[in-house]
Structure 1
Amino acid sequence: MEPVSRTPSTEDRLLTVGKMLGLGFLGLAVGIVTQIALLLVLIAAGVDVLDSPLLSVGLSLVSLQGVGLAVVGVLYLRYSGYGLSFVGFRFPTLRDVAWTVGGFVAMVAVLLAAASVLQAISSALGVETAENSIVQTASEDPTVLFLLIPAAFLIIGPSEELLFRGIIQGRLREVFGPLAGILIASTIFGFAHLTAFAATAGSIASVLIPIGGLTAVSLVLGYTYEKTDNLVVPALIHGAYDALLFSLLYVTLVYGDELQAAANNSSGVLAALF
C-alpha cells in the first residue's frame, strides 16, 4: 500500500467515513432485500424454505454474502474507478502464507481474551449477551454447519473481506493512515453484524457486547491486510476462523451431554464472536 501523500482536511475525512459507513450498510441492505425477494419467490414456487434450516442458511449465504457484500463491492470498484487492483488480490507468497498462519493464531488468541472480557462485562452488568442467529439455526439442525464450514472459505471470508478490508479499510487508509483506517473499518465491520443479533437482543448492551467482541477480533484481519497488501490473506484467516467456530459449535451441539459445562461457555463465545 502506498503511503498517504498529503494531509486530508477534516471535511475529506468525515466525508470518507460517511461514504464507507454507507457502503457497508448498503451491502447489508441489498443483501436483506435480495433475501426477502428470493424467499418470496421460493415460497410462491412451493418451496418450504422457512421450515428448512439448511435452505434458510443457503439463501442467506447467497443473498447477504454473495449479492449484498460481494456484488456491491465489485460494483463499487467498477464504477468508482478504483478497479480490482486497489484491493491487492494476488496468489499468496510464502511470506503471505506465514502471515496467514500467524494471523489465524493471533485471531484465536484475541478470541479467547475477548471471550473472557465479554463474560466479565456481561456478568458485571447483569446482561445476557445476545446470540448470533447462526447459533439458533444450528441448534435446530446442526447439519447446516457442514454447509457453513466450506462456505466460510468460499463465500463468507472472501466477500466480507472484499468489502470491509479491501474497500472500506483501503479508502479510510487514504485519508486517515493505516492505524485509524484499521480501527474505523473494524468498527464498521462490527456494527454491520447488528442484524445477526437482533432476534435475541434483550437490551442495547446485550448487542453492544458481542459487537465489541467482533470489532476486537477483526483488528487482526485489518492488521494482516495492512502488512501484506493481499486480500487473500485476511480472507483465508477469516475463513479458517469461522470454520473453527462452526466446528466447535457442531461439537457443542451434538455432544452437549458430555460437554454441558463447556457448551454453556462455548455457546456464549460463539454467539458473540461470529
Structure 2
Amino acid sequence: MMDPVAVRRPSFLFTTLFLLATMVLYPVAGALLFSLAGGSGEAVLGGGGIGGLLGPLRMAQASGQLMMLALPVLLLAAWHVRAPLFSLESLRFLGVRGGFDWRLAGFAVAGVFLLQPLVFTVAGLQNLFLWPALGAAGAEVVRQQAVMEVFIAELAHAGSVGEFLVVASVLAVVPAVTEELLFRGYVQGNYTRSMRPFSAVLLTGTMFAFFHMSAANLLPLALLGWYIGYIYSRTGNLAVPVSVHFVNNMAALLLLLSAGSSPVAGSDPELLLFKVWWWVLLLLSLWLFIWVMRRFSAIASSS
C-alpha cells in the first residue's frame, strides 16, 4: 500500500531518538503529575497502595498520555507535512483516514482474542520456569509484577456506572488512541520508509513492549505489539489497530473487575498449563487464528 506522504517522513535516526526520548520522559512526567496529585511513587512501588488518590491519579494517567504521547506526535506530523494541526494531510501522515472497514476490524479483533491463550501460556511458562531459574532477580520481577497488579486493580475499581466509564476511558480509550498514534501511526509509519514492513513491525512491536516497563510482561506485550503492527501494515488505517487495542484493554479491564479487587489472591492460573485440555484449547485457538488471519489478509488485499 503506497504511503502518500512517505517522501516527507523523517529518518530512522530521528524517529528512534524521538521514541527513546519519549520513553524516558513519559515516566518522569507521570511521576511528576502523580507527585503534584499528592501521591508517593515509593509508597506504590513498596505496596503501600494509592488510597484516596484515585481521582487525581486517574486524571494524571490520562493527562500524561495525552500530553506526552499524543500531542508531540500530532505536532510533529503537522511539522513534517507543513500543514496546520489536525489538517487532513497531517492526520493522513499518522494513518488517520476515512474508509473504515468493519469486516477488517471484526477479523482483527477476533484475532487478538484468539491470541490470548498463547499470551497466557507464554506468561505462565515464564512464571513456572524462567523467573524461578533467575533466582533473586526473578523473585524481584515477580514481586514488582504483584505490586503492579494490585496497583492496577485499585486504579480500575469502580463503584458506579459513572466511575466505570471514567475507568474505561483512562485504562482503555486513552491508551488505545495515544499509544497507537505514537507507535503505529508515527514510529512504524516512519520505519517503513527505512526498512522492510516486516522489520518495521518487529522493531516497533518490541519497542512497544519495552515502553510499558514490565519485565514480567515483556514477551506477552511484544506478541501483542507485533500483532497490532501487522494489522496496521495490512490496512494502513490507524482506526483498525486502535479498535484492536481498545477491545484488548477493555476485555482485560472487564476480566479484572469480574475477578474482584485482588486479581492474584487465592488462585494459581499457571496450573492450567498442566491440563491436557488447555493444550488442546491452545492448538485450536491457533488454528482458528490462522484461519481468521487468512480471511483478514484476503479482505485487506482486495480493499
Are 2:219 and 1:216 equivalent residues in the alignment?
no
Q: What TM-score do you get using the length of structure 1 for normalisation?
A: 0.73
Aligned with residue 131 of structure 1, among 145, 153, 158 = 145
Secondary structure of the residue aligned to 1:131 is helix
- Name the residue aligned to 1:99: 104
Instruction: From the superposition, tell whether residues 117 and 30 of structure 1 become closer, same or farther in structure 2 (CA, over 3 Å).
Output: closer
| Unaligned 5+ runs, structure 2 | 4-9, 40-49, 83-89, 133-137, 273-303
Instruction: From the superposition, tell whether residues 140 and 159 of structure 1 become closer, same or farther in structure 2 (CA, over 3 Å).
Output: closer
Instruction: From the superposition, tell whether residues 192 and 142 of structure 1 become closer, same or farther in structure 2 (CA, over 3 Å).
Output: closer
CA-based RMSD: 3.3
CA-CA distance at 1:112 after TM superposition: 1.7
Aligned with residue 119 of structure 2, among 114, 117, 122 = 114
Counterpart code for 2:121: S
Are 2:275 and 1:261 equivalent residues in the alignment?
no
Aligned with residue 169 of structure 2, among 150, 166, 175 = 150
Q: Is the 8 A contact 1:253 1:263 kept in 2?
A: no
Instruction: From the superposition, tell whether residues 177 and 261 of structure 1 become closer, same or farther in structure 2 (CA, over 3 Å).
Output: same
- Name the residue aligned to 2:43: none
Q: Is the 8 A contact 1:92 1:233 kept in 2?
A: no
Instruction: From the superposition, tell whether residues 169 and 265 of structure 1 become closer, same or farther in structure 2 (CA, over 3 Å).
Output: farther
Q: Is the 8 A contact 2:125 2:270 kept in 1?
A: no
Q: How far apart are the structure 2 equivalents of 1:121 and 1:37?
A: 33
Counterpart code for 1:59: A
Secondary structure of the residue aligned to 1:2 is coil
| Unaligned 5+ runs, structure 1 | 4-12, 198-206, 267-274
Structure label with greater radius of gyration: 2
Counterpart code for 2:74: V
Instruction: From the superposition, tell whether residues 20 and 190 of structure 1 become closer, same or farther in structure 2 (CA, over 3 Å).
Output: farther
Q: Is the 8 A contact 2:70 2:179 kept in 1?
A: yes
Q: How far apart are the structure 1 equivalents of 2:23 and 2:59?
A: 16
CA-CA distance at 1:252 after TM superposition: 1.1
CA-CA distance at 1:183 after TM superposition: 0.6
Counterpart code for 2:71: V
Q: Is the 8 A contact 2:91 2:97 kept in 1?
A: no
Q: Deviations over 1:178-235 (max 9, x none)?
A: 11111111011111111xx3xxxxxxxxx1x411110101222111111111111101
Aligned residues: 237
Instruction: From the superposition, tell whether residues 172 and 132 of structure 1 become closer, same or farther in structure 2 (CA, over 3 Å).
Output: farther
Instruction: From the superposition, tell whether residues 21 and 265 of structure 1 become closer, same or farther in structure 2 (CA, over 3 Å).
Output: farther
Q: Is the 8 A contact 2:228 2:244 kept in 1?
A: yes
Identity %: 18
Instruction: From the superposition, tell whether residues 236 and 52 of structure 1 become closer, same or farther in structure 2 (CA, over 3 Å).
Output: same
Q: Deviations over 1:80-132 (max 9, x none)?
A: 33732212212453xx2122121122112222202112211331221454528
User: Relative to structure 2, which stretch is displaced further, 107-116 or 177-186?
Assistant: 107-116
CA-CA distance at 1:68 after TM superposition: 1.1
Instruction: From the superposition, tell whether residues 252 and 29 of structure 1 become closer, same or farther in structure 2 (CA, over 3 Å).
Output: same
- Name the residue aligned to 1:80: 80
Q: How far apart are the structure 2 equivalents of 1:139 and 1:265?
A: 22
Q: Deviations over 1:226-264 (max 9, x none)?
A: 11111111011101110110110111125979x943778
- Name the residue aligned to 2:205: 186
